[in-house]
Amino acid sequence: MRSLPADHPGTPDARGPMRYLLWVARMQMAPLLAGIGFAVLWWLGQAMVPMVVGRGVDALTHEDLDGLLIWSGVLLGLGGVQAWAGIMRHRRAVYVWLSAAYRTVQVTVRQATRLGATLPKRLSTGEAVSIGTSDIAHIGNAMDILLRGTGAIVAIVTVTVILITTSPTLGLVVLVGVPLMAVAVGPLLRPLHHRQQAHRDLQGDLATRATDIVSGLRVLRGVGGEEVFSDRYRDESQRVRHAGVRVASVESVLEGAQLLLPGLLIAGVTWLGATYATQGEISAGELVSFYGYAVFLISPLRTLTEAADKLTKGHVAARRVVRVLRLEPEITGGARAAVPSGPRSGALADPGSGVTLRQGEFTAIAAGTPEEAVEIADRLGRYTESDATLGGVPLRELAVADVRGRVLIADNNARLFTGRLRDELGGHDDETIRRALHTACATDIVDALPGGLDAHVAEAGREFSGGQQQRLRLARALLADSEVLILIEPTSAVDAHSEARIAGRLALARAGRTTLVATTSPLVLDRAERVIYVEGGRVRDEGTHRDLLTANPAYRATVIRGED
């Protein structure tokens, strides 16, 4: 029993789509070769049937009962071999397909994690969806067809040898005819390649449009923009449809060629065989064999054209995957050793704005505009290039993984994932989870669920209201227990009563840990040990909330505006 997906998918070869497909094949070489072996045996079993039937007919013609029984037994054995080889080939084919698809998903997800905030800037949602849906299927099909395609080539060669041995002229007809068919189909593959690429790009754009509409549906209804975006989606959908029709037009010609070209070859072989039989150059049994081979050749020849089609689609899909794998993150880390964690790690500072987070202090930022606070948070968390430091060490000199492990930014763009709520909250013990839920005023949310912590969370937590999602996200951030926690407007969607409780409990829960809350809520600001007022991207004042209310009119105006 083989387990999927693999624990370690490996390091993909992203130098080109063909190199990526070869890498996928190398990573599953053993089952691939085994599947090819079974496919060859399966095809050979079928290829030998016409010859055995012909020998049996000759034995019957010569009233050779022993020969008839022998060839009948051989035919029965070939049937058993075909059945067994077909089952084993199919098993290997399914495994190879799944392995290629899963491996592609693994390496692209790993790359997406590596890219982090760079991914949405370089790759649309639709492109990511296309990779996870259609592209992995095409790459799996490209691996699957290698089994039957290789077996088909061996079967055609075997039949050609048999025909040449029986009749050199017939053998040469097949030997020349098969390459000619491949050359005839070749001109269809390039336009098919280009049209499939264009179709996939349009599908990705349409999926991005659909995602934007669904995520912003409530806003669209509020401003009356549903009709406008509906018309845009309809127009893009029609472009995708037309592109699909253009792809189908080439594919239909290719399908027709798969029937016409082998049919012409088979008709020629059959006519020559019948001519030689009437002239006495071949026996009745050999004529039956030729008819059998004429019918049999349809399958391997169609498999070859199918292989050309699926390998082309796999190449197009691999090109999209390679494009993602070749992206580089905008933020890269250095090789400097991390500063010690804990009380001695020192302050986290952003020289660009003048904001400094003291070790173990509960700090709040009240900014003139929300965007200013977000920009400062991004610099402190090293999501943008800056001169920010931790304990005097520039963040750019530290490994990104070390920064991410010590500085956590939780904003309202974060999403809840599908699965058990317990797993979504980090899989901690019940008591630890309960404490975090209590701090975030989210205990009532879990108590109302039929399964409690074991309840299933739907996609993006859509069964929860905006305020409930915000409180659950806060609980998740608290459970991470990071050395530095930066919260962006963590109470913007909750009522004032819950906000007051969260503010008080948050200060206690994070006692002795560095915490920064970007907010203009007086309830939260009043609980902060120190409030930093930012305007124009720079620190303008700092102190307690009540002192700033009295001494700084600009701060007071910002807070009152935020309260309204």
Q: At 257, which CATH number?
A: 1.20.1560.10
Do 321 and 353 reside in the same domain of the chain? Answer: no
Strand order in the sheet with 407-410: 407-410, 484-488, 514-518, 362-367, 530-535, 538-543
Token pair, residue 264, equals 């012409």
Q: What are phi and psi of 357, to 5 degrees?
A: -100, 115
In-domain check, residue 133 = yes
In-domain check, residue 11 = no
In-domain check, residue 280 = yes
- Is the pLDDT score of 306 beyond 80? yes
Cα 20–chain centre separation: 15
Q: Count of domains in the chain?
A: 2
| Peptide bond between residue 351 and the one before it cis (omega within 30 degrees of 0) | no
CA angle, corner 100, sides to 95 and 105, nearest 5?
125
Do 414 and 488 reside in the same domain of the chain? Answer: yes
Do 397 and 477 reside in the same domain of the chain? Answer: yes
Closest CA to 97 of 43, 137, 58, 65: 137
* More confident call, 132 vs 559: 559
Instruction: Average the pLDDT over 498-510 and give the result.
Output: 92
- Is the pLDDT score of 479 beyond 80? yes
Do 80 and 183 reside in the same domain of the chain? Answer: yes
Residue with tokens 């005023």: 441
Do 404 and 299 reside in the same domain of the chain? Answer: no
* More confident call, 247 vs 38: 38
3-state secondary structure of 10: coil
- Is the pLDDT score of 288 beyond 70? yes
Instruction: State the Cα–Cα distance between residues 67 and 52, nearest whole angstrom.
Output: 11
Do 392 and 435 reside in the same domain of the chain? Answer: yes
Q: What is the pLDDT of residue 343?
A: 46
Q: What are phi and psi of 327, to 5 degrees?
A: -70, 145
Instruction: Average the pLDDT over 416-442 and give the result.
Output: 88
CATH number (domain holding residue 450): 3.40.50.300
In-domain check, residue 337 = no
- Is the pLDDT score of 1 beyond 60? no
Closest CA to 41 of 93, 88, 96, 92: 88
Do 348 and 289 reside in the same domain of the chain? Answer: no
Q: What is the pLDDT of residue 409?
A: 93
Taking the model in full, what pTM does it have? 0.67
Q: Which of 207-211, 229-233, 316-320, 353-357 has the lowest mean pLDDT?
A: 207-211
Instruction: Average the pLDDT over 251-273 and give the result.
Output: 77
Do 258 and 352 reside in the same domain of the chain? Answer: no
In-domain check, residue 4 = no
In-domain check, residue 5 = no
Do 350 and 461 reside in the same domain of the chain? Answer: yes
Do 281 and 426 reside in the same domain of the chain? Answer: no
Q: What is the pLDDT of residue 134?
A: 81
**Last residue of one domain, picked from the residues 271, 294, 325:** 325
Domain that holds residue 95: 17-325
In-domain check, residue 315 = yes
Instruction: Average the pLDDT over 537-559 and give the result.
Output: 92
SS3 content of the chain, % helix, strand, coil (to 5): 70, 10, 20
Instruction: State the Cα–Cα distance between residues 417 and 309, nearest whole angstrom.
Output: 37
- Is the pLDDT score of 439 beyond 90? yes
Q: What is the pLDDT of residue 216?
A: 56
CA dist list (Å): 204 to 193, 208, 244, 450, 491:
17, 6, 13, 38, 35
Percent of the chain whose pLDDT exceeds 70: 89
Do 366 and 320 reside in the same domain of the chain? Answer: no
Instruction: State the Cα–Cα distance between residues 206 and 201, nearest whole angstrom.
Output: 9
**Last residue of one domain, picked from the residues 298, 325, 352:** 325
In-domain check, residue 470 = yes
- Whether the Cβ atoms of residue 300 and residue 156 lie closer than 8 Å to each other: yes
Do 265 and 347 reside in the same domain of the chain? Answer: no
Percent of the chain whose pLDDT exceeds 90: 36
**Last residue of one domain, picked from the residues 293, 325, 357:** 325
pLDDT tens digit sequence for 329-376: 877 766 665 555 554 467 899 999 999 999 999 999 999 888 999 999
Token pair, residue 262, equals 């082998």
